[in-house]
Chain A
Amino acid sequence: MGVVGQNAVRLDGREKVTGRALYVDDIVMPGMWHGVAVRTTIPSGKVLSVVFDPRFNWKKVVVADRHDIPGRNVVTMIEEDMPLLVHDEIRHIGEAIVLIAAPTKKMAEDARRHVEIRYEEWQPVLTIEDSKAKKRVIHGSDNVISRYKIDKGDVSAGFKDSDAIVEGVYRTGAQEQAYIEPQGIIASPGKGGGVDLVGSMQCPFYILKALERLLGMSETKLSVKQATVGGAFGGKEDYPSVLAGYASVLALKAKRPVKMIYDRNEDMNVTTKRHPSVVRHRTGVKKNGMLVAMDIGIELDAGAYTTLTPVVLSRGFLHSAGPYRCPNVRIAGAAFATNAPPNGAFRGFGAPQTLFAVEAHMDKIAEEIGMSPLELRRINCLKVGDEMATGQILKESVGALECLEKAAAASGFERKWRASLPLCKGESEGIEVRSTLPDPPLQREGTVRGIGISLFMHGGGFTGSGEAKMKGKAGIRLERDGKLTVLTGCTEMGQGAHTVLPQIVAECLGVPLSCVRVETPDTSKVPDSGPTVASRVTMVIGKVLCVCAEEMKRRLSEAAGRDHGDFRSLAGSFLKKRGPLTIIEAYEPTPGIHWDDTTYHGDAYAAYSWGCDVAEVEVDKDTFEIKVERMYMAHDVGRAVNPQMVEGQIEGGTLQALGWALMEDNRYDGGKLLNNRFQTYIIPTTMDTPFLELITVEHPFSHGPLGAKGVGELPHDGAAPAVVNAIANATGIRISEIPATPERLFEECKKKHFRSS
Chain B
Amino acid sequence: MGKSIALIVNGKRKKVKAHAASRVLDVLRETLKLTGTKEGCGEGECGACSVILNGEVVNSCLILFGQLNDGDDITTIEGIGGKKKLHPLQEYFLECGASQCGICTPGMIMAAYALLKKNPRPTHDEIRQAVAGNLCRCTGYAKIIEAIERCATSNVKI
Counting CB contacts under 8 A, is A686 at the interface?
Answer: yes
Query: Within 8 Å CB of A23, what residues of B?
Result: 38, 103
A26 lies within 8 A of B138 (CB): no
Contacting residue for A493 out of B76, B77, B101, CB 8 A: B101
Binary CB contact string for chain A from 417 to 453 against chain B (1 if under 8 A, 0 otherwise): 0000000000000000000000000000000000000
Binary CB contact string for chain B from 98 to 126 against chain A (1 if under 8 A, 0 otherwise): 01111111100100000000000000000
A654 lies within 8 A of B137 (CB): no
Q: Is the interface of A mostly helix, strand, loop or mixed?
A: loop
Contact A19-B106, Cβ < 8 Å, known A644-B97, A645-B97:
yes
Binary CB contact string for chain A from 263 to 275 against chain B (1 if under 8 A, 0 otherwise): 1100000000000
Counting CB contacts under 8 A, is A655 at the interface?
Answer: yes
Counting CB contacts under 8 A, is B65 at the interface?
Answer: no
A683 lies within 8 A of B131 (CB): no
CA distance A263 to B48 in the complex (A): 13
CA distance A656 to B141 in the complex (A): 11
A180 lies within 8 A of B103 (CB): yes
Contacting residue for A683 out of B29, B36, B94, B137, CB 8 A: B137
Contact A647-B97, Cβ < 8 Å, known A20-B36, A231-B137:
yes
Contacting residue for B143 out of A17, A228, A648, CB 8 A: A648
A18 lies within 8 A of B141 (CB): no
Counting CB contacts under 8 A, is A472 at the interface?
Answer: no
B99 lies within 8 A of A13 (CB): yes
Contacting residue for A648 out of B97, B132, B133, CB 8 A: B97
A685 lies within 8 A of B132 (CB): yes
Query: Within 8 Å CB of B149, what residues of A?
Result: none
Q: Which residue of B lies closest to A176 (CB)?
A: B137
Counting CB contacts under 8 A, is B40 at the interface?
Answer: yes
CA distance A650 to B83 in the complex (A): 30
Q: Which residue of A lies closest to B79 (CB)?
A: A19
A677 lies within 8 A of B43 (CB): yes
Query: Within 8 Å CB of A494, what residues of B?
Result: 100-102, 138
Counting CB contacts under 8 A, is B86 at the interface?
Answer: yes
Query: Within 8 Å CB of A26, what residues of B?
Result: 29, 35
A178 lies within 8 A of B37 (CB): no
Contacting residue for B142 out of A9, A16, A679, A689, CB 8 A: A689
Q: Which residue of B lies closest to A8 (CB)?
A: B97
Contact A495-B86, Cβ < 8 Å, known A17-B94, A263-B42, A652-B137:
no
Binary CB contact string for chain B from 63 to 103 against chain A (1 if under 8 A, 0 otherwise): 00000000000001110011100100010011111011111
Query: Within 8 Å CB of B96, what residues of A?
Result: 644
Interface residues of B in 5-30 (CB under 8 A from A): 29
Counting CB contacts under 8 A, is A651 at the interface?
Answer: yes
Counting CB contacts under 8 A, is B41 at the interface?
Answer: yes
B86 lies within 8 A of A14 (CB): yes
Query: Within 8 Å CB of A180, what residues of B?
Result: 38, 40, 46, 48, 101, 103-104, 135-137
Query: Within 8 Å CB of A677, what residues of B?
Result: 41, 43, 45
B78 lies within 8 A of A652 (CB): no
CA distance A647 to B128 in the complex (A): 19
B137 lies within 8 A of A687 (CB): no
A651 lies within 8 A of B140 (CB): yes
A683 lies within 8 A of B132 (CB): no
Most buried by B among A21, A178, A655, A686: A686
Please tell me the number of chain A residues within 8 Å of chain B, measured between CB atoms: 55
Counting CB contacts under 8 A, is A61 at the interface?
Answer: no
Q: Give B87 Cβ to nearest chain A Cβ, in Å.
A: 8
Q: Give B69 Cβ to nearest chain A Cβ, in Å.
A: 25
Q: Give A487 Cβ to nearest chain B Cβ, in Å.
A: 22
B138 lies within 8 A of A18 (CB): no
Contact A181-B86, Cβ < 8 Å, known A678-B45, A686-B145:
no
A655 lies within 8 A of B143 (CB): no
B90 lies within 8 A of A230 (CB): no
Counting CB contacts under 8 A, is A496 at the interface?
Answer: yes
Interface residues of A in 581-603 (CB under 8 A from B): none
Contacting residue for B82 out of A18, A645, A687, CB 8 A: A18
Counting CB contacts under 8 A, is B154 at the interface?
Answer: no
Query: Within 8 Å CB of A683, what residues of B?
Result: 135, 137
Contact A25-B137, Cβ < 8 Å, known A17-B109, A179-B101, A229-B101:
no
Interface residues of A in 647-701 (CB under 8 A from B): 647-648, 650-656, 677-679, 683, 685-687, 689, 692
Interface residues of A in 302-346 (CB under 8 A from B): none
Interface residues of A in 6-39 (CB under 8 A from B): 7, 9-10, 12-23, 25-26
Contacting residue for B141 out of A17, A179, A689, CB 8 A: A689
Counting CB contacts under 8 A, is B129 at the interface?
Answer: yes
CA distance A367 to B82 in the complex (A): 58
Q: Give A538 Cβ to nearest chain B Cβ, in Å.
A: 15
Q: Which residue of A lies closest to B92 (CB)?
A: A17
| 12 intermolecular pairs with C-beta atoms under 8 Å apart | A17-B93, A17-B105, A18-B77, A20-B36, A25-B39, A26-B29, A263-B42, A645-B97, A648-B138, A679-B45, A686-B131, A692-B142
Which 3 pairs of residues, A with B, have the shortest CB-CB distance? A19-B36, A494-B101, A230-B103
- Residues on B facing A (Cβ under 8 Å): 29, 34-43, 45-46, 48, 76-78, 81-83, 86, 90, 93-97, 99-106, 109, 128-129, 131-145
Contacts A19-B34, A228-B102, A648-B140 aside, 10 further interface pairs with beta carbons under 8 A come to A14-B94, A17-B102, A179-B103, A180-B104, A229-B101, A230-B101, A231-B103, A494-B101, A685-B135, A686-B134
